[in-house]
Structure 1
């Protein structure tokens, strides 16, 4: 079964949403404030509050989850042997591109 152009574009969009948000999530999570509570339940609630109120973290997280939803919907009509390689391999490419744009050291030439 050959994939349509729409299916391939949906998988590329999935890759962009997954890969493009990874460096943003990494950056935002490194800036989150640390919380310390006495009980595990209060700790969990405080950590969730901290995450949900941080728009710098929540926006890329929301976009990443939209990519997962689109992937799930696309899998209903796309061959799995096509969907997985396209989305996963391109996600790595998008992660590298966005990471480079954000100034991350992605390695490469001249690295030890």
Structure 2
């Protein structure tokens, strides 16, 4: 039980902590302008593939996806999806703040607390009530 919860927290951390970094390091892609959609696509893809500052956090983010895929073999889907996705939001808000994005507003902080409380309730219901 504890290993499963830690696995989901690790997945959420890998996803959430890298999201603001990926966003910051992909700046400049909007400056690419080509005359055709196909050339636009290839130019944007070349920009991302040759940008090591983008590729490193994206690789770490994808490691989280691999860990999540492996964890799904052992964790109930009705618990893993809401826990991993809701905690990703929390990690994204926190890491964005530490990377210089604006301080989360009161509503965001209340939302983070609600997400954490809801996640605890989901885990409690799944592991304590169903498996006494």
- Report whether the alignment pairs 1:99 with 2:96: yes
Moved over 3 A (4+): none
Distance 2:18 2:97 in 1: 13
Q: Which has the higher contact order (CA 8 A, sep 6+)?
A: 1
TM-score normalised by the chain length of structure 2: 0.71
1:44 — aligned with what? Answer: 41
Given the alignment of the two structures, is residue 71 of structure 1 paired with residue 68 of structure 2, yes or no? Answer: yes
CA RMSD of aligned residues (A): 1.7
In structure 1, the gaps of 5 or more residues are none
In structure 1, the residue matched to 2:129 is none
Give distance in 2, aligned partners of 1:14 and 1:34: 32
TM-score by length of 1: 0.82
1 or 2, which has the higher helix percentage? 2
Aligned residues between the structures: 106
What is the deviation of 1:107? 3.0
Secondary structure of 1:17 counterpart: helix
